[in-house]
Homo-oligomer: A and B are copies of this chain.
Amino acid sequence: MVVSGLVTGCFMDLNGIASRLSGWLCGEGPMGDIVISCRVRLARNLAGFCFLSKCSEAARTEIEEKLRAIFCEMKVGEEAFYFDVCKAETLEREVLIERQLISRYHAKIDGARGVYVGEDESFAAMVNEEDHIRMQCLRAGLQLEECWAELNRLDNRVEEQVDYAFDEKLGYLTACPTNIGTGIRVSVMLHLPALRMSGEVEKVLRAAKDMNLAVRGMHGEGTEAMGDLYQVSNQVTLGVSEEQIIEEFTNTIVPKIVEYERAAREQFAAKNPAALDDKVGRAVGLLSNARLVSSQEALHLLSHVRMAVNMGRIKNIDMGSINELFLLTQPAHLQYNCGRELDAGHRDALRAKMLRDALGRLN
């Protein structure tokens, strides 16, 4: 496969990341049994330029070149790289989406744009998505304060080189009013299989919505909760400080949901251990014997195995390997890593083989 969009001077290409685990998916980190990952994101725009919806092609290109140069000089780790999304193949864009480095919207639009990816993918900055800059820090487990400290530091480094569009009263100006103010979005990816099985997940998520939180599937807005993965994020960005938002997530919102999920797991194990072992046994049996597995089924079955590993009911596999399968069995990763596009039937066969190879020894 030809890797396109690679900028000279950045020594990493997509090939390098697509075959391995993102740093923030290692399976460690506080509350890592339930909190897969956490993320803080900032939206920023350059002063003196229009928002992208009103921006000329020339100005868009000027913004992209300016920001590309700034990010490439920042060197967020030795293996950081900038990727020209505009020139990328469809499959490369899909890989970046599956790794949560770019949004579906960023992949789809036209015009000069790119993404800067820090070493280990713990930092990423989309250039010319909805705003001129969308920067994120990701960590495994619940480490929002660490994410925010790092993101704040990198944001300051960018701000040393450019003027951000800022209003004394409104704060940072953003293309969409929902991001105005701090421009911050905090989100956590939660694994809630027991709450889903007990039917309580709807109740918990309704309570989250009542607290002005958004709840989405693993790929953000408009996606379903596959593999029992739920993304919970803040919606209000105006009139509340970054620190307040992070504090509330870290000390109240996330621990509460984690507590509910743990209670649901304990109750399941205490009240119906046979049904629990049956669910897990069936997942292992199918993953290690099926010959055709869709990505949706893979996520669904891996979700049960992940829970069982966390509950100590399966011992001979580590969390990182399960998280790796969550990522590498997704359609674009599967095709990219085998070097060519595959139709659905061949994807399902290759995915099944990968799962059998990884989980066959659990029998």
- Whether B278 pairs with A290 at a CB distance below 8 angstroms is yes
Nearest B residue to A349, CB-CB: B274
- Considering the chains assembled together, what is the distance between the CA atoms of A345 and B277 in angstroms? 13
Tell yes or no: A157 within 8 A of B by CB: no
Tell yes or no: A36 within 8 A of B by CB: no
Nearest B residue to A277, CB-CB: B291
Number of copies: 2
Nearest B residue to A363, CB-CB: B363
- Considering the chains assembled together, what is the distance between the CA atoms of A320 and B274 in angstroms? 30
Contacts of A274 in B (CB 8 A): 291-292, 345, 349
- 8 Å CB contact of A282 from B275, B286, B345, B349: B286
Interface string of A287-325 (1 = CB under 8 A from B): 111111000000000000000000000000000000000
If the complex has contacts A286-B285, A286-B286, A290-B285, are A278 and B363 also in contact, measured as CB distance less than 8 A?
no
Nearest B residue to A283, CB-CB: B289
- Considering the chains assembled together, what is the distance between the CA atoms of A287 and B275 in angstroms? 15
Tell yes or no: A254 within 8 A of B by CB: no
Contacts of A289 in B (CB 8 A): 281-282, 284-285, 363
- Considering the chains assembled together, what is the distance between the CA atoms of A275 and B345 in angstroms? 10
- Considering the chains assembled together, what is the distance between the CA atoms of A277 and B289 in angstroms? 9
Contacts of A360 in B (CB 8 A): 363
- Considering the chains assembled together, what is the distance between the CA atoms of A285 and B352 in angstroms? 13
Nearest B residue to A289, CB-CB: B285
Nearest B residue to A356, CB-CB: B281
The 11 sampled A-B contact pairs (Cβ below 8 Å) are A274-B292, A274-B345, A277-B291, A281-B291, A282-B289, A284-B289, A285-B288, A285-B289, A288-B363, A289-B363, A360-B363
Q: Footprint of B on A, CB under 8 Å?
A: 274-275, 277-278, 281-282, 284-292, 345, 349, 352, 360, 363
